[in-house]
Structure 1
């Protein structure tokens, strides 16, 4: 069977199964089965599927995923996240402090949580009602919080960077540190957007925020855990003291202790965090397993290698290849969520990026930013629906989409900056070596 027949057949079956409503993990597995049966008999196919599925669940590196998910859930269900937002804008004598505080709180939360959706839910659940009550415009309030959640995906630890590293076999530590400077640049860009918005539409940004000053004890109970957890993760990984999995385990234990000690976490909240982590990992685990099966079929028929050779023979310039891949992901992101895209498309496309001569750590940051655009673009922009769901009666999905447009512009600007100045992502990993 020719490689292009397999590639088109896999994608055609996948789209067919998704269109009839089959969940993506089952759609990927179902699309793989006919081609597995063409390689080997039924009994051998069952054994292969079992081995591939089992291999995912016992992978040491993948143990970091549930630990980072649990870490984010614990922070979200304690008072640490809400108090962090309160601290960021409390008693700050700056016009628009609640909007700037939302960005700062999302960035701080991103330093301990790798999930965009959890970031938007945690900070947005507290900040959105507060901003609306203070008189901020609906579009600004919803846009800044939907976009702010994407900071959790870029600022380490990041689940998307973690998955990217697993698929492409790149150093997780290098990927994490490569995201630091672009993440800080993005925070600055979001702040500039709020300032320009307030200048162009002063009615959307109140002259002063009459917020109750946060007591110092509560401020410390919010800031110190985030600093401690962030330092445990970054220092232990970047200095080589611990692997990402070990760092995730240590930081998770520290989070449990601090969430109970100073975050007001209850036993019911802890159980809810564990339950939510299990639900998330049930989906992610199936997706990872199906992705491995899907990838096995593609690798057996050499679809990624042949696809790369085809593009090389076309003699396109490296930047034309890069531009085509970025546009492809931005369009695909309108219909698929980031984790699914990672396991469906990345095994085929990352060899093409490598053949074009680009650094795969640098491209990991590029890829992650395109995933941030994906969660802000309809019709399947996860963060759009998270924020709209938090204020169903007050804000329409149209308001959220319009509010996100300037922030999507900032993400695209950051992509252009990284292409023009690759050291924006590569300088920090370079000096850490």
Structure 2
């Protein structure tokens, strides 16, 4: 009973506009005080902030954020789109396909979905509109391609999931590689089919010679360097995710300075933005720990596991119900809020049913991608609308085919777990 009341209180705080981190801390603290009194609350609050901040793996988050900021300011995203457009511009829907590839490439060097959507809105979207692409189709592919940063390493969302579910960050990050390729292919195929259906919505671009195509490949070089600096060293076991994130931030900083003259104020802004975001995420993780501690005191999770274990249904039915619930939550809640609210409860449940939490982490992230592009709170769609001056309703309409194809991708990942687990199982 106490757990239900505290959860309702938490949702009231969120509905009132309280930041997710503060809402979790306040609601969790109220629950702990209710169950254990002032001594229990003071004991937890006196140690948990230090323990959360002192976690070695947490350093991965600010380093990936710093890497993302350097990448955003370096102009690498422009080069990725130009190279992809040179190769696919003469394919039906080629610029849309190039956008999905640029989104995947950008996701491989930047773990922020909204940053990817904003960057693609400033690079690939104007190019598509200039060539006569229908605005709904163009804005839709930009919004959905931005979500690839959540799945393809380095992914901030995957790091946080791994910390909340208590699984290997390295295996979690590597697990996103093959599903990321599949989802990228899904986006590209959706664009191609839409272009075949309505060719006037996706005109062809001018021809590019083979010499120019080959020359454009040099633009991909910086992305490959950063990929090897992060994903490559994690997969081969040369470095831990925390060490790899520091190497990635260093390499991204080197590319940032190499590609142009920089001001001291701009560097300060980059460090400041990444620090502020890292502090915000740190507060959210602290709030998740406080709230999870309250759940542990009430034995809510254990009771839920026992109750589900006694149900006369197949475990896959339970997984399907969880995925549907997460999809519905994504229509109304921020993805980070869903992550910290559901993972501490769902992870022990699925583990008790024999499911691999790495595999489910991939399912969780791909499901969260849909929440980023569906109304009424599809953040990526609002970002694209803001940067492109296209009505947000048109962006949402342009997203509809991609939402359907994403559902199919989730089904494939659910039916074939080895797609997500093959690479992690072969790590050094």
Asked if Structure 1 and Structure 2 have the same fold, meaning a TM-score greater than 0.5 normalized by the shorter chain, the answer is: yes
Match of 1:357 in 2: 354
- Partners of 2:386 and 2:159 lie apart in 1 by 28
Name the CA shift for 1:265/1:179 in 2 (closer, same or farther; >3 Å).
farther
Task: Give the drift of 1:343.
Answer: 1.1
- Over the aligned positions, Cα root-mean-square deviation in angstroms equals 2.3
Match of 2:406 in 1: 411
- Partners of 1:193 and 1:216 lie apart in 2 by 24
- Partners of 1:12 and 1:214 lie apart in 2 by 62
**Greater shift after overlay, 145-154 or 281-290?**
281-290
Task: Give the drift of 1:63.
Answer: 0.7
- Partners of 2:425 and 2:168 lie apart in 1 by 13
Q: CA offsets per residue over residues 269-299 of structure 1, 9 Å max, x none?
A: 3322222212322321221111111111111
**Greater shift after overlay, 329-338 or 46-55?**
46-55
Q: Choose from 52, 57, 82 the match for 2:78.
A: 82
Task: Give the drift of 1:214.
Answer: 11
Number of equivalent positions = 427
8 Å CA contact 2:92–2:196 kept in 1: the answer is: no
Q: Choose from 330, 334, 343 the match for 1:333.
A: 330
Q: CA offsets per residue over residues 238-275 of structure 1, 9 Å max, x none?
A: 12221101100011011101111026655443322222
Match of 2:363 in 1: 366
- Partners of 1:213 and 1:124 lie apart in 2 by 28
Q: CA offsets per residue over residues 221-250 of structure 1, 9 Å max, x none?
A: 742221011011122111222110110001
- Partners of 2:323 and 2:246 lie apart in 1 by 34
- Partners of 2:384 and 2:166 lie apart in 1 by 34
Match of 1:35 in 2: 31
**Greater shift after overlay, 40-49 or 149-158?**
40-49
Match of 2:3 in 1: 7
Match of 2:98 in 1: 101
Secondary structure in 2 aligned to 1:228?
helix
Name the CA shift for 1:405/1:212 in 2 (closer, same or farther; >3 Å).
farther
Q: Residues 114-263 of structure 1 correspond to what in structure 2 (within 5 A)?
A: 114-209=111-206, 219=216, 222-262=219-259
5+ residue gaps, structure 1 = none
8 Å CA contact 1:153–1:368 kept in 2: the answer is: yes
Name the CA shift for 1:370/1:207 in 2 (closer, same or farther; >3 Å).
same
Q: Are positions 1:112 and 2:109 aligned together?
A: yes
**Greater shift after overlay, 415-424 or 37-46?**
37-46
Over 6 Å off, 4+ runs: 210-218
Task: Give the drift of 1:164.
Answer: 1.2
